[in-house]
Structure 1
Amino acid sequence: MTHAAEDLGPGPEPVDVLGRLHDATRRAGVPGPAAVIGDWLGHAAILAPSIRLDAGVAPPDRPRGWWFGHVSFPDRVAEAALPATVGGVTDGVLVFDGDRWSYRSVTAMPCPEWIRACVTPTRAADPPRPWTTAWTAPPRAPHREAVAACLDAIIAGEVYQACICTRYRGELTGAAVDLARSGIAALAPRKAAFLSGTWGSVVSFSPETFLRRTGDDVVSSPIKGTVPASTDPTVLLTSIKDVAENIMIVDLVRNDLGRVAVAGSVTVPELLVTRPAPGVWHLVSTVAARVPPQVGTGDLLDATFPPGSVTGAPKLRARELLRRWETDARGVYCGAIGVVEPDGDLDLNVAIRTVEIAPDNTMHLGVGGGITIDSDPDREWQECLDKAASIVSLEHPGLGHPGV
């Protein structure tokens, strides 16, 4: 499906346009915006100016527009605070390519004036409205017990590794869109996303690409291996535990993509690359494949979801054990969030560093890490704290933070 593109020229940063769209849609009484910001299908941002996001609308193969939404981690979904799947389709989006905005539409209609006004460069950007968060850290003991159980399972040969997760609980005073704007501006994550509706909101500061499809080419960039931002990242490359953890998941992702890829097309163009993320350094690899044209979004997800980096190896047995070991349902955390374009191209993050906000403004923030035979329970706990630190310490510009 083709779509027309209208150049709108230079304009404000995506987080400021997101705020303007939110205000404009509230005044008009129509559904609010959705956004993916950072590195999405080669763009710095893709924004749906107004989109109704409903429960149960899964990523389609070729939407009649642009699909935005999330798919939750598939286990214990009945226990989660937000719907298992949320999505919606819009026929027009704003696209930012670093210095210019464009409006793209499947109807070939010109950009509506109210949307054009939101990207005008002559208007000063309004700061996010005041907001505060109050977080409660998870108890340490259940996580240690889960790590110990995982180590026993590794020794027994049931799994090679598994990702053990816990979660923070919190309360938000203010609007989710303002938390998103402040956090994206402060953290600059590679795969940020904002979704909202009557069901609640999702604010994602993820650094990880789960699946990106352009034409028949698919890539996945699993993250395994983490140290605090203050640490020399080269220690990841000399860590037996982190290197082994990453390579195991690379093999798992190769196997997953191999189920739908053209024979012989699965490659690993990047192996064990250190990259910065909010508050930490990560060890990242990239697996690439070519898929036949008849393989759609549903086929890709059937073969690869949930992401290997947040489950374990072997994946099915790890999931069975995680359902017993973890005290809370993961919900959107460790699922996927993103966009599908009219031609079937898609970009989905791994929903880590992701805040789930219920309609009553209660929040959840999942954190976790991969456990291998070399894991130390105390270091694994510290890794959880390190991953959460940049988010739980976020504050509105000009306002203090109440702490954890």
Structure 2
Amino acid sequence: MLQQCLGPGASVSAVLRGLGARAVRRATAGPAALTGRWFGAAAVIAAECRALPVEPRNAFGVAAHRPTASAGDAPAAGRPAIGGGWIGYLSYPDGARATTRHTGLPPAAGAWTDSVLVLDTGGCWWWESLTDARCPSDIAALTAHTDDGAPGPDWSVDWHRPDETRHRRNVTACLEAIAAGEIYQACVCTAFTGRFAGSPLGFFADATAATTPLRAAYIDGPGGAVASLSPETFLSRSGDRVESSPIKGTAPLTAPPGALRRSVKDVAENIMIVDLVRNDLGRVSATGSVRARRLLEVQRAPGVWHLVSTVAATLRPGTADADLIAAAFPPASVTGTPKARARDLLDGWENRPRGVYCGTVGMLSPAAGLELNVAIRTVEFRPDGEAVLGVGGGITADSDPESEWQECLDKAASIVGLVPSCITGDAHPVIPAQ
């Protein structure tokens, strides 16, 4: 594998804008990107990556067709070598009762890339290639360009709020199911919708620059684009070790973070999902290896505080990536406990497909392993010009419908209030009036 140091230079958003302009000039595919914290790096970008539909069972399961890393490849800058891999998404598996007409993206899509741009945590850009191909000079020039003040491509979204009455009704139905003993918790969701114009890549570049989410991801293709501004890790696998870091428990940034840890409702919400993650990973892990490595950490995310826990395990010998995903998908934090019954009830209450929201976006690298986010704070840009942003929250016996509605608004605020850099010169979220 080739690892070519390009040096410090442009920001991630500037490189993405440059690659987008390059794709327009050359009439080629635009970039796919993972930004925040992926494989020990601050960004992983495929310069040309057109996501094509695949069967959901084949997403992140391309081992038989991928190049392998060379023996003895040395890590660069103290992080794993990445080199390339399959970047894509897998939508939430909506049930048969999600009856609203679905004009969204394909259920799963992605593409293979033999090489990637990598920004290490020290601010240095690298070019890595599984086939030893060197970085094209025009791409290297984009990473060296330090003038990040130029406005990006134009975009706009005219957002509309979800149906508040319906969401409250669904939360109440969930509380009744909990009281009846059918479930302990469920993640009840709804969606902002809007009309979109302009560049989805421009939106992603501006949004990540403004909100710096931990597990952001972007990919597009003929079926539409996905801009995931997620803070949550679904699965991170290296060799036989796997971790999952569910988020459950939310408070606005205006609240003191310590109050979240003292909230009986939020702590219970998190612990129940930790148990569900332990159960999911236990299906494919060595007996006795599943551990809650970190519990109830208060972490900052765009617009909110979250409670985050981390579950780690050692996979049984011979466990394929597809086996791991099958055991844990859809992510525990966006379903409920017990998982099967919660999903069945949610299918009836929500009555609309979640689509990519609550699914997963990420990358499978033959050199570095598998890393996937939970596709929350995720916008679908559909071919008909519709933009969809799913929102929701975990409901427990202590939930209040009014507070749950406000939580949806808090989670969406940094996205629906975003102002494009081409208007302001500096993208930033403007929190709309509640």
TM-score using structure 2 length: 0.89
1:85 aligned onto 2:108: yes
| Distance in structure 1 (CA, Å) of the matches to 2:150 and 2:346 | 44
| Distance in structure 2 (CA, Å) of the matches to 1:395 and 1:155 | 43
| Distance in structure 1 (CA, Å) of the matches to 2:392 and 2:348 | 16
- Residue equivalent to 2:416: 392
| Distance in structure 2 (CA, Å) of the matches to 1:34 and 1:398 | 21
Q: How does 1:3-18 map to 2 (within 5 A)?
A: 3-18=1-16
Alignment-mate amino acid for residue 117 of structure 2: L
Note the C-alpha offset of 1:61: 5.3
**1:289-347 deviations in Å (ceiling 9; x for gaps):** 11134212100111000000000001011001111010321000000001110236011
Segment drifting more, 95-104 vs 181-190: 95-104
Q: How does 1:73-222 map to 2 (within 5 A)?
A: 73-76=92-95, 79=102, 81-98=104-121, 99-121=123-145, 126-222=150-246
Segment drifting more, 198-207 vs 78-87: 78-87
1:271 aligned onto 2:271: no
Note the C-alpha offset of 1:79: 2.8
Alignment-mate amino acid for residue 174 of structure 2: C
1:365 aligned onto 2:389: yes
Q: Is the 8 A contact 1:80 1:330 kept in 2?
A: no
Aligned pair partner of 1:374 in 377, 383, 398: 398
| Distance in structure 1 (CA, Å) of the matches to 2:170 and 2:114 | 46
| Distance in structure 2 (CA, Å) of the matches to 1:376 and 1:325 | 17
Q: Is the 8 A contact 2:125 2:143 kept in 1?
A: yes
Q: How does 1:15-30 map to 2 (within 5 A)?
A: 15-30=13-28
Aligned pair partner of 1:334 in 358, 363, 366: 358
Q: Is the 8 A contact 1:61 1:297 kept in 2?
A: no
| Distance in structure 2 (CA, Å) of the matches to 1:152 and 1:70 | 34
Note the C-alpha offset of 1:399: 2.7
Note the C-alpha offset of 1:20: 0.9
Alignment-mate amino acid for residue 67 of structure 1: W
Q: Does the residue aligned with 1:234 lie in a helix, a strand or coil?
A: helix
Change (3 A) 1:42 1:344: closer
Change (3 A) 1:80 1:369: farther
**1:97-149 deviations in Å (ceiling 9; x for gaps):** 03111111111121122322221236666321232221000111111111111
**1:199-242 deviations in Å (ceiling 9; x for gaps):** 11111110000001112211100000000011001111111110
Alignment-mate amino acid for residue 86 of structure 2: W
Segment drifting more, 363-372 vs 209-218: 209-218
| Distance in structure 2 (CA, Å) of the matches to 1:102 and 1:184 | 20
Note the C-alpha offset of 1:89: 0.2
| Distance in structure 1 (CA, Å) of the matches to 2:154 and 2:102 | 31
| Distance in structure 1 (CA, Å) of the matches to 2:317 and 2:117 | 27
- Residue equivalent to 2:90: 71
Change (3 A) 1:197 1:125: farther
**1:270-307 deviations in Å (ceiling 9; x for gaps):** 10000000000000000001113421210011100000
Percent identical residues: 50
Q: Is the 8 A contact 1:162 1:370 kept in 2?
A: yes
Q: Does the residue aligned with 1:178 lie in a helix, a strand or coil?
A: helix
Change (3 A) 1:243 1:170: same
Q: Does the residue aligned with 2:86 lie in a helix, a strand or coil?
A: strand
Q: Does the residue aligned with 1:318 lie in a helix, a strand or coil?
A: helix
| Distance in structure 2 (CA, Å) of the matches to 1:200 and 1:32 | 12
Aligned pair partner of 1:31 in 29, 37, 49: 29
| Distance in structure 1 (CA, Å) of the matches to 2:210 and 2:29 | 26
- Residue equivalent to 1:320: 344
Note the C-alpha offset of 1:52: 2.2
Q: Does the residue aligned with 1:50 lie in a helix, a strand or coil?
A: coil
| Distance in structure 2 (CA, Å) of the matches to 1:336 and 1:221 | 13
Structure 2's unaligned 5+ residue stretches are 68-83, 425-429
Q: Does the residue aligned with 2:421 lie in a helix, a strand or coil?
A: coil
Note the C-alpha offset of 1:397: 2.8
- Residue equivalent to 1:46: 44
Change (3 A) 1:265 1:359: same
Q: How does 1:270-309 map to 2 (within 5 A)?
A: 270-309=294-333
Note the C-alpha offset of 1:58: 1.1
Q: Does the residue aligned with 1:337 lie in a helix, a strand or coil?
A: strand
1:383 aligned onto 2:381: no
Note the C-alpha offset of 1:80: 5.3
Q: Does the residue aligned with 2:419 lie in a helix, a strand or coil?
A: coil
Note the C-alpha offset of 1:363: 0.4
1:58 aligned onto 2:81: no
List structure 1 runs of 4+ shifted beyond 4 angstroms. Answer: 122-125, 400-404
Q: Does the residue aligned with 1:184 lie in a helix, a strand or coil?
A: helix
Segment drifting more, 198-207 vs 288-297: 288-297
Q: Is the 8 A contact 2:89 2:108 kept in 1?
A: yes
Note the C-alpha offset of 1:360: 2.7
Alignment-mate amino acid for residue 33 of structure 1: P
Note the C-alpha offset of 1:260: 0.6
Q: Does the residue aligned with 2:327 lie in a helix, a strand or coil?
A: helix
Note the C-alpha offset of 1:268: 0.9
Note the C-alpha offset of 1:71: 0.3
Q: Is the 8 A contact 2:62 2:86 kept in 1?
A: no
